[in-house]
Amino acid sequence: MSDVCIVGIGIHPFGRTEGVSGLDQGVFAVRQALADAGAQWPDIQFAYGGSDAAGNPDTMVERLGLTGIQFINVRNGCAAGGSALASAQMAIKSGEYDLGLAVGFDKHPRGAFNALPAEYNLPDWYGEAGYMITTQFFGAKIMRYMHEHGISATSLGRVSQKAFRNAVHAPHAWRREPVSLETIMEAPMVSDPYTKYMFCSPAEGGVALILASEKKARELGKPIIRLKAVTMRTRPPGSFEVFAPSIDIAGNSAPRGSATRIAAADAFRMAGIGPEDIALAQLQDTEAGAELMNMAENGFCRDGEQEAWLAEGHTEIGGKLAVNTDGGCLACGEPIGASGLRQVYENVVQLRGDGGGRQVPGNPKTAYSHVYGAPGVSAVTIMER
């Protein structure tokens, strides 16, 4: 079976854009992706779209054209974008279609996400204790991880410092000013051990990806960027996830541990390669500790090795595994519908060699993306050119 390819990419800059709706930003990204692919809207046979707070993506047909297209909305927490991509890839891989769209956009109000317990089948007391406010949950989770694996708060600071430094060279990023490690560490505390520079902000933005069968990609004359694996998985028993706060202290939890570990292992098996073969990775980093934990959960290092990796610069643009080359969520913000697709957008830019000041050296041929959402869902892609 031939591979599914990404033949067009488009992005509306992330951040705050007054007077421009989330849907406007999604439409902007779609038009940019169509131009990049050398295709027209009537050529697109189907679409999957994700948005959490900015309306139903399928309504963008009013702006793009009433072609009768199949357009399915996806809502899967912060993994909405990754889930839309997984669905689009399957539609082409099935042989049903040969040209389609994955799109995501959002426009969130200022402040932390504050979901309702009932949406996740949780009792009201869980919200009353403050754990539906993600900053508090993530603070508790990383504190436990640091204690168990010997990770220092300085390592959290280094993750944020790298993010802002990388974003200087990413035109679509929101926060494009470098921030010193000292400033990050001494900033006001949000939720111990995280200071304000160690959390991303809900934001705005839109991303569109046009997918094609290999045959169609060759017809369009585009560089062949292959999706070698796309996985989306849910949590096993006993995993410790946002809005699913359960750890099996009796040791009976599933051997693969978390939605991310399952999605990553399955993706590597599908692609026929291992973590050591990946040149760059976009990892979920809603907070600095997430990037750090996800380095291990995705198989790139062992728990606890992050301390040395960060101190020695292994995740820098020129390191052995460049991580979050455009600054990730920390610098771009996290418009939920668009965030997972931004990671794939960035990987296509890198594999095309178009990264400019943030370009990973050595002509990279493989790229990895990972997005995670509540209450424990994870999506992974592995791409090759």
In the chain, what are the domain boundaries?
A: 4-110+204-220, 117-201+229-384
* Residues of the chain predicted below pLDDT 50: 253-254
Neighbours of 250 (CB within 10 A): 7
pLDDT of residue 202: 87
pLDDT of residue 126: 83
The two domains 4-110+204-220 and 117-201+229-384 share their CATH topology (first three levels equal): yes
d(CA 262, CA 235): 8
d(CA 182, CA 169): 22
117-201+229-384 belongs to which homologous superfamily? Answer: Thiolase/Chalcone synthase (3.40.47.10)
Whole-model pTM?
0.94
Q: What percent of the chain has pLDDT over 90?
A: 78
pLDDT of residue 250: 57
The CATH number of the structural domain formed by 4-110+204-220 is: 3.40.47.10
**DSSP 3-state of 163:** helix
Residues whose CB is less than 8 angstroms from the CB of residue 271 and which lie 6 or more positions away in sequence, other chains included: 228, 229, 382, 384
pLDDT of residue 89: 95
pLDDT of residue 251: 54
pLDDT of residue 311: 96
pLDDT of residue 249: 60
d(CA 136, CA 138): 6
Phi, psi at 366, each rounded to 5°: -130, 145
